Structure 1
Amino acid sequence: MTLDDLRVFIAVCRAGSLSAVARELSCTQSAVSQHVKRLEKELAVSLLERHARGVVPTSAGRILQAAASDGIGGIDLALRRLRDLVRGESGAVRVTTGATTVRHFMAAAVVGFRQRFPQVTLEFQTASSSRACFDALAADDLDLAWVTIGAPVRGIEQRPVADLPWVLAVPAGDPLAAEPRAELADLAAARLIRPPQASTSRTQLDEALADLDVGPAGHTSVADWDTALLLTELGVGQAVVPALPGWRAQNPPGLCLVPVPDLPPLSVGWAVRRWDALSPLARAFADMVAADCGRGAAGPVPAQGARGAARRHGASRAARICK
């Protein structure tokens, strides 16, 4: 039994076809079949059921597929880390995140990283939600995912970087623009512009509103925070959004961001398969982003034991932002 045997077997289970894997690997179908047969001989058990339209794993095959997928992923990460160590400062860091995340959280870190590691490639893959980031992280050869921190995900480690207080974006001429804070009654009366239904941030926002017994008069869903602000500017509604770091330095034109201290802050940060298997380059980029977020408006996340207090008082750090 070899690592290549296991890799081919996993590929066959995912594709459901020996011939498809043969085409992908540029080899014969017989060669693919030999990898599987070697495993079956070693384990003395049938791993695949062969049908006219392809193959499916047996119950034993499913057990091996689940175990081998986790194991091979860890081994591949370790091999990549060793290759990075041998190459020194060459290589690539692969990140998956939302469409506007680089602008709001990573711009300074990207510049600093490129200056420090000019021979290293930064690759970004756009995803529509934290769940999509988790799926991409588990399935693809990616290093890091920037996500909204939520419930534990099997096979994924999450590390909070910043807590973002919620604010209500209103036009500068709106009566709420003169207020130091937005109350729950203001949210209930507003036509809120919120994150998409399937997103982690939307789930957390809806749960917080439900816990506070707030039912908005109506709502509109958008794909990203920048679009939420644009729709607010156009008069579609009032956007409830996290106070992103970049907005403190360059306020959204024509809008006022009014703190909503009754809502618990939104936690954002990194997700990886295994922190101890990250390449030195990926860890360096993750640390640079975390350091920049710590210097930004949102502030750093405190130690885990203090996070409850931070959530109770985090919103008070967000001053009213108008332009």
Structure 2
Amino acid sequence: MGLVTLDDLRVFAAVCRTGALSAAARDLDCTQSAVSQHVKRLERELGLSLLERHPRGVAPTAAGQLLHTAVTEGLGRIDQAVRRIEELARAEGGSVRVTTGATTVRHFMAAAVVDFRRRFPRASLEFQTEASSRGCFEALAAGAVDLAWITLRPAGGAIEQRPVVHLPWSLAVTADDPLAAKPSIEPTDLQDARLIGLPENSTARTQLGTWLAESGVRPVFDTSVTDWDTAILLVGLGLGHAVVPTLPEWTGPGHPDLQLVPIPALPALTAGWAVRRWDALSPLARAFADTVAHHCARLSGH
């Protein structure tokens, strides 16, 4: 592979990630012809086809998948090493790149961000919003971020996960709803209930659906939202009920017409950090992760 360059590998990884030469070209701010030339050079050097053409784009062949896996891991580690070297050169003036959902900072990181900035005034924080844990995993795999705050999923693959906070479930209802008077909700109370929920492909929705099904309960999710805050807003407007993780921000004077009724039979939802490798994190990224974990522990009283 004497003629293969890092640019060839980066372009190939972008094509596999986006599933189309044109989309990769847009992401890389170059022409589709240039993207094609990079891929052709790789194929010529390796002597095998790396991509299969489909009506809606391209997909890696078996050989392409092997290369993509290796390239993703290798480029991510190179990027991390370069950033660590740069941060050593700038002392504590580096950056921490975090990907997470739209409302995570407000619910879990507000105090930690203030604390971190006080301790490391020269450091910068870069937040990249993703709509799902899958998007966060992809950003990690591509080396685009250092840390991902996600709803944890079963362990597996190359991504390392670390639990930080366990969130019990509650049924969000308006204060005048008959269910608001109950001390707790049983899963059977949700049978045939019409609920506001996250998209079907979200990790939290999948886990919730599995746990309810194990209790023999199959509610109807007839309204879909992208985040829990929107679900809470719609409940407050009287559009239905929502099974949500219990967060302190949703109780008290800020939501006088909202009631969160515990559902103790459901296993708690676990949120926390995902990284490529903990031992490869920069000192700044590790410090930010630990700061968030510390403030979450204080918030939960642990």
TM-score interval, normalised by the smaller of the two chains: 0.7 to 0.9
CA RMSD of aligned residues (A): 3.6
Closer/same/farther in 2, CA of residues 190 and 89 from structure 1, 3 Å limit: same
Closer/same/farther in 2, CA of residues 130 and 245 from structure 1, 3 Å limit: farther
- Preserved CA contact (<8 Å) 1:164 1:244: yes
Shift in Å at residue 8 of structure 1? 2.4
Closer/same/farther in 2, CA of residues 201 and 145 from structure 1, 3 Å limit: same
Q: Which residue of 2 aligns with 1:141?
A: 144
Q: Which residue of 1 aligns with 2:184?
A: 181
Instruction: Say whether residues 1:89 and 2:97 are aligned partners.
Output: no
Q: Which residue of 2 aligns with 1:5?
A: 5
Shift in Å at residue 48 of structure 1? 5.7
Shift in Å at residue 146 of structure 1? 0.7
Q: Which deviates more, 276-285 or 69-78?
A: 69-78
- Preserved CA contact (<8 Å) 1:114 1:120: yes
Instruction: Say whether residues 1:46 and 2:47 are aligned partners.
Output: yes
DSSP 3-state at the match of 2:158: coil
Shift in Å at residue 161 of structure 1? 0.5
Shift in Å at residue 86 of structure 1? 2.4
Q: Deviations over 1:199-238 (max 9, x none)?
A: 1000000001100011226642221111111111111111
- Preserved CA contact (<8 Å) 2:170 2:261: yes
DSSP 3-state at the match of 2:92: coil
Shift in Å at residue 122 of structure 1? 0.9
Cα separation, 1, equivalents of 2:229 and 2:167: 16
Closer/same/farther in 2, CA of residues 75 and 236 from structure 1, 3 Å limit: same
- Preserved CA contact (<8 Å) 1:156 1:271: yes
Closer/same/farther in 2, CA of residues 243 and 211 from structure 1, 3 Å limit: same
List gaps (5 residues or longer) in structure 1: 301-323
List gaps (5 residues or longer) in structure 2: 53-57
Cα separation, 2, equivalents of 1:91 and 1:69: 23
- Preserved CA contact (<8 Å) 1:3 1:72: no
Cα separation, 2, equivalents of 1:24 and 1:223: 29
Q: Deviations over 1:266-286 (max 9, x none)?
A: 010011111111111111111
Q: Which residue of 1 aligns with 2:199?
A: 196
Instruction: Say whether residues 1:68 and 2:71 are aligned partners.
Output: yes
Closer/same/farther in 2, CA of residues 114 and 174 from structure 1, 3 Å limit: same
Cα separation, 1, equivalents of 2:234 and 2:70: 47
Cα separation, 2, equivalents of 1:81 and 1:249: 43
Give the total of aligned pairs. 290
Cα separation, 1, equivalents of 2:191 and 2:61: 53
Shift in Å at residue 12 of structure 1? 4.0
Cα separation, 1, equivalents of 2:131 and 2:59: 31
Cα separation, 2, equivalents of 1:204 and 1:49: 36
Tell me the amino acid that sits aligned with residue 5 of structure 2.
Answer: D
Instruction: Say whether residues 1:256 and 2:259 are aligned partners.
Output: yes
Cα separation, 2, equivalents of 1:49 and 1:138: 20
Q: Which residue of 2 aligns with 1:304?
A: none
DSSP 3-state at the match of 2:5: helix
Shift in Å at residue 155 of structure 1? 2.3
Query: What is the percentage of aligned positions where both structures have the same residue?
Result: 55
Tell me the amino acid that sits aligned with residue 98 of structure 1.
Answer: G
Report the TM-score when normalising by structure 1: 0.77
Cα separation, 2, equivalents of 1:186 and 1:135: 37
DSSP 3-state at the match of 1:99: coil
Q: Which residue of 2 aligns with 1:292?
A: 295
Q: 2:120 aligns with which of 117, 125, 138?
A: 117
Cα separation, 1, equivalents of 2:242 and 2:202: 16
Closer/same/farther in 2, CA of residues 118 and 2 from structure 1, 3 Å limit: farther
Instruction: Say whether residues 1:77 and 2:43 are aligned partners.
Output: no
Tell me the amino acid that sits aligned with residue 8 of structure 1.
Answer: D
Shift in Å at residue 250 of structure 1? 6.1
Cα separation, 2, equivalents of 1:262 and 1:50: 48
Between structure 1 and structure 2, the one with the greater Rg is 1
Cα separation, 1, equivalents of 2:262 and 2:60: 54
- Preserved CA contact (<8 Å) 1:10 1:65: no
Shift in Å at residue 143 of structure 1? 0.8
Q: Deviations over 1:155-176 (max 9, x none)?
A: 2111111110001111112232
Report the TM-score when normalising by structure 2: 0.82
DSSP 3-state at the match of 2:199: coil
Tell me the amino acid that sits aligned with residue 5 of structure 1.
Answer: T
Aligned positions of 1:99-114 closer than 5 A: 99-114=102-117
Tell me the amino acid that sits aligned with residue 138 of structure 1.
Answer: A
Tell me the amino acid that sits aligned with residue 116 of structure 2.
Answer: F
Tell me the amino acid that sits aligned with residue 137 of structure 1.
Answer: L
